[in-house]
């Protein structure tokens, strides 16, 4: 269903922060990310209420509508669980062929991309980089810097989010701090 467009939505282009009555917001804390990091014991020993990322989104049509677009921004805080950088849960789109754009606003990170056969690669993120995430490709972002990593996103309103496959099998690699630098470490 088409919802009346809201012209009072705005985005601060310096920070990515959105404002407007219809902007939704969710926060993911360490408690929400159980089982996501390699070192589950390290995650459990950290303050569970600590925010790892915050997502703002603008959804001018209902979720599931074919032909619409959603807009969002993610603020991924700096930090590590053991040697693994703070990261998003990661997902495939439920409708597998749905693509997405990410655009980095601030900070430094790695976009982890995995095809359905498990092959995994990285795209480095820095202010201004534009990332086209093709369909059939799971995506997750790790903050490899010491400041908040913020990125804009635009995706089809019927894409949907499938977190199950990633929760069960993970990606083909993890972005870890190795000798003081980020590296993609293949998952055994």
Q: What are the residues binding Mn ion (CB under 5 A)?
A: 100
Taking the complex as a whole, how short is the minimal distance between the CB of residue 102 and ligand F6R, in angstroms? 7
Residue ranges in contact with ligand F6R by CB under 6 A: 55, 72, 74, 88-91, 100, 139, 153, 155, 159, 161
90 binds, among ligand F6R, Mn ion, none (CB under 5 to 8 A by kind): ligand F6R
Cα-Cα-Cα-Cα torsion 81, 177, 104, 44, nearest 10 degrees, comes to: 0
Taking the complex as a whole, how short is the minimal distance between the CB of residue 20 and ligand F6R, in angstroms? 17
CB of 152 or CB of 181, closer to ligand F6R: 152
Helix ranges (DSSP H) in the chain? 40-44, 164-169
143 binds, among Mn ion, ligand F6R, none (CB under 5 to 8 A by kind): none
Q: How far is it, in rounded angstroms, from Cα 45 to Cα 27?
A: 20
The token pair at 48 is 């569970």
Taking the complex as a whole, how short is the minimal distance between the CB of residue 176 and ligand F6R, in angstroms? 19
Taking the complex as a whole, how short is the minimal distance between the CB of residue 3 and ligand F6R, in angstroms? 19
22 binds, among Mn ion, ligand F6R, none (CB under 5 to 8 A by kind): none
- List the beta strands (DSSP E) in the chain: 10-11, 18-19, 23-29, 51-58, 69-76, 80-81, 84-85, 92-93, 100-106, 109-115, 120-125, 130-133, 137-143, 149-156, 161-162, 173-178, 181-186
CB of 80 or CB of 98, closer to ligand F6R: 98
Taking the complex as a whole, how short is the minimal distance between the CB of residue 78 and Mn ion, in angstroms? 22
121: which residues sit within 8 A by CB, 6+ positions away? 112, 113, 184
8 Å CB contact between 51 and 104: no
176 binds, among ligand F6R, Mn ion, none (CB under 5 to 8 A by kind): none
């Amino acid at each position: 269903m088409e919802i009346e467009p809201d012209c009072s939505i705005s985005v601060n282009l310096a920070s990515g922060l959105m404002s407007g009555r219809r902007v939704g917001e969710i926060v993911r804390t360490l408690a929400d990310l159980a089982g996501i990091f390699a070192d589950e014991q390290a995650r459990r020993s950290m303050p569970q209420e600590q925010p790892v990322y915050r997502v703002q989104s603008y959804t001018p049509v209902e979720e599931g509508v074919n032909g619409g677009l959603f807009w969002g921004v993610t603020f991924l805080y700096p930090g590590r669980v053991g040697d693994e950088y703070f990261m998003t849960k990661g997902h495939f789109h439920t409708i597998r062929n749905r693509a997405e754009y990410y655009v980095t606003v601030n900070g430094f990170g790695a976009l982890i991309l995995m095809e359905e056969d498990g092959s995994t690669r990285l795209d480095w993120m820095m202010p201004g980089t534009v990332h086209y995430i093709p369909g059939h490709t799971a995506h997750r972002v790790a903050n490899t810097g010491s400041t908040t990593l913020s990125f804009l996103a635009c995706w089809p309103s019927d894409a949907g989010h499938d977190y199950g496959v990633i929760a069960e099998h993970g990606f083909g690699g993890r972005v870890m701090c190795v000798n003081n630098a980020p590296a993609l470490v293949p998952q055994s």
